[in-house]
């Protein structure tokens, strides 16, 4: 492949047609009628050109993608789903490396160029950092050696062990994504668990991504604990809370103080735009200045049969869930799945601009249906 590529006749973010010159994996020039005799040429014939999509919350190691259909008769409680997952993981060999690779290929095909993935590591699994073991994070990371170079290295988010069962493990010691915290309802010790997570993050200098599922008052209580520790440890800008269903509570007296503290502490929020749960109000949070990202969460796994890792479709889910209809509103949802994710993941050189890594996503936006043909020229090492 030529180290220089001229993407002809594209419309960056729907603007006027122009060319993009890409040298050594970076955008060198964006202008009409660029002359570059040494470049390979890809004429995208007036296609809309978007920046690479950012999958900021996946569970690569859990997907059953490519494994065929399995009956799902898990009970209604959270622990039923967790137990069902553990049972099937062994019974049908859900290999984390194989499944992660499959989902990465799927994501790349949809135009995703950056992925952050939680890694399953319940208290019956080996914790990350435990004598160098941790099959799931290793599986998720394996593509660093044999990986698809069209996507940047996956950033794993590693959970600690449950302190109520066997003491804190070394979450995220070697992983850039930092520690992640399963829902508080499982061990009924939110203070103990958060103390462990924050202590590990401090010890290894890693950011934190917390799964917070509790709705209403219980979620607000958990948020208070997170605010307290973020402030006390000076971790402003290094904490993300995923799902945060309690922010979708209709009582503004409950939600507004949480929003104020999220702003003050620069805590990011991840929302999938869930259909069946209260959702953080995307527009209100963005207007307040909160950094937001999104992700597919678990797809086609032991929890449910849905999902396809398509982050452009995720834009639609966010829009539907938040009642976004006008172009400027839809653009907000698109931003959450692109620049918002890049901001939360602290990605360097992201975007459709000169000097950025060349991760362009030409889309045949007219006539529908939209067809995508990613042009990935970044060379991640």
Question: What residues line the site for Zn ion (CB under 5 A)?
Answer: 297
In the complex, least distance from residue 286 CB atom to Zn ion, rounded to whole angstroms: 21
Q: Name, in order, each residue with C-beta under 8 angstroms of 193's C-beta and a sequence gap of 6 or more.
A: 160, 162, 163, 164, 181, 184, 187
Task: Scan for tokens 């202590």, then name that residue.
Answer: 199
Written as one string, the DSSP assignment of 340-352 is: IHHHHTT-TT-SS
Q: What is the spatial distance between Cα 77 and Cα 339, in angstroms, rounded to a whole number?
A: 35
In the complex, least distance from residue 357 CB atom to Zn ion, rounded to whole angstroms: 26
In the complex, least distance from residue 211 CB atom to Zn ion, rounded to whole angstroms: 6
In the complex, least distance from residue 321 CB atom to Zn ion, rounded to whole angstroms: 17
Beta carbons within 10 angstroms of residue 197's beta carbon: 26
Q: What is the spatial distance between Cα 241 and Cα 225, in angstroms, rounded to a whole number?
A: 12
In the complex, least distance from residue 180 CB atom to Zn ion, rounded to whole angstroms: 8
The distance in angstroms from the start CA to the end CA of the chain is 16
Residue 175 or 372: the one with the smaller Cβ distance to Zn ion is 175
Q: What is the spatial distance between Cα 267 and Cα 344, in angstroms, rounded to a whole number?
A: 9
Residue 42 or 209: the one with the smaller Cβ distance to Zn ion is 209
Q: What is the spatial distance between Cα 280 and Cα 352, in angstroms, rounded to a whole number?
A: 28
Residue 214 or 297: the one with the smaller Cβ distance to Zn ion is 297
In the complex, least distance from residue 280 CB atom to Zn ion, rounded to whole angstroms: 14
Residue 85 or 297: the one with the smaller Cβ distance to Zn ion is 297
Residue 170 or 297: the one with the smaller Cβ distance to Zn ion is 297
Q: What is the spatial distance between Cα 357 and Cα 25, in angstroms, rounded to a whole number?
A: 6
Residue 30 or 292: the one with the smaller Cβ distance to Zn ion is 292
In the complex, least distance from residue 59 CB atom to Zn ion, rounded to whole angstroms: 6
In the complex, least distance from residue 225 CB atom to Zn ion, rounded to whole angstroms: 20
239 neighbors 207 (Cβ within 8 angstroms): yes
In the complex, least distance from residue 39 CB atom to Zn ion, rounded to whole angstroms: 41
Residue 149 or 176: the one with the smaller Cβ distance to Zn ion is 176
Q: How many residues does the chain have?
A: 381
| Inter-CA distances, 334 with 55, 290, 316, 324, 339, Å | 12, 15, 9, 11, 8
Residue 103 or 359: the one with the smaller Cβ distance to Zn ion is 103
Q: Taking CB positions, which residue lies at the least distance from Zn ion? A: 297
In the complex, least distance from residue 248 CB atom to Zn ion, rounded to whole angstroms: 16
Residue 19 or 297: the one with the smaller Cβ distance to Zn ion is 297
Written as one string, the DSSP assignment of 321-375 is: HTT--SHHHHHHHHHIIIIIHHHHTT-TT-SSSTTSB-EEEEEE-SSSSPEE--E
Residue 9 or 107: the one with the smaller Cβ distance to Zn ion is 107
Q: What is the spatial distance between Cα 188 and Cα 116, in angstroms, rounded to a whole number?
A: 27
- Choose among 357, 361, 379, 380: nearest CA to 370: 361
Q: What is the spatial distance between Cα 126 and Cα 131, in angstroms, rounded to a whole number?
A: 9
- Category of 111 on φ-ψ map: left (φ > 0), alpha (ψ -120 to 50) or beta: left
């Amino acid at each position: 492949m030529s180290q220089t590529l001229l993407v002809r006749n594209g419309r960056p973010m729907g603007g006027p047609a122009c060319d993009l010159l890409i040298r050594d994996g970076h955008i060198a020039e964006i202008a009409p009628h660029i002359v570059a005799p040494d470049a390979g040429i890809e004429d995208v014939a007036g296609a809309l050109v978007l920046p690479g999509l950012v999958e900021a919350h996946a569970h690569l190691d859990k997907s059953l993608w490519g494994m065929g259909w399995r009956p799902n008769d898990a009970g209604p409680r959270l622990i039923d789903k967790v137990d069902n997952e553990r049972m099937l993981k062994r019974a049908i060999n859900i290999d984390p490396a194989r499944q992660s690779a499959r989902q990465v290929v799927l994501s790349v095909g949809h135009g995703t160029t950056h992925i952050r993935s939680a890694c399953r590591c319940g208290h019956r699994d080996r914790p990350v950092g435990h004598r160098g073991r941790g099959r799931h994070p290793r599986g998720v990371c394996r593509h660093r050696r044999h990986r698809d170079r069209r996507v940047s290295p996956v950033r794993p988010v590693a959970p600690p062990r449950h302190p109520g069962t066997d003491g804190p493990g070394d979450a995220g010691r070697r992983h850039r994504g930092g520690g992640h915290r399963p829902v508080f309802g499982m061990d009924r010790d939110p203070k103990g668990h958060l103390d462990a997570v924050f202590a590990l993050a401090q010890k290894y200098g890693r950011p934190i991504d917390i799964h917070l599922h509790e709705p209403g008052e219980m979620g607000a209580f958990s948020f208070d604990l997170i605010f307290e520790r973020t402030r006390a440890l000076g971790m402003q800008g290094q904490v993300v809370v995923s799902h945060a269903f309690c922010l979708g509570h209709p009582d503004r007296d409950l939600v507004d103080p949480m929003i104020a503290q999220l702003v003050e502490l620069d805590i990011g929020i991840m929302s999938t735009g869930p259909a069946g749960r209260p959702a953080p109000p995307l527009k209100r949070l963005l207007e307040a200045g909160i950094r937001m990202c999104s992700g597919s969460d678990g797809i086609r796994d032991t929890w449910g049969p849905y999902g396809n890792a398509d982050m452009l479709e995720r834009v639609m889910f966010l829009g539907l869930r938040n009642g976004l209809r006008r172009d400027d509103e839809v653009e907000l949802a698109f931003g959450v799945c692109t620049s918002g994710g890049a901001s939360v993941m602290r990605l360097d050189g992201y975007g459709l601009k000169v000097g950025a890594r060349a991760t362009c996503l030409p889309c045949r936006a007219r006539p529908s249906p939209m067809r995508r043909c990613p042009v990935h020229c970044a060379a991640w090492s």
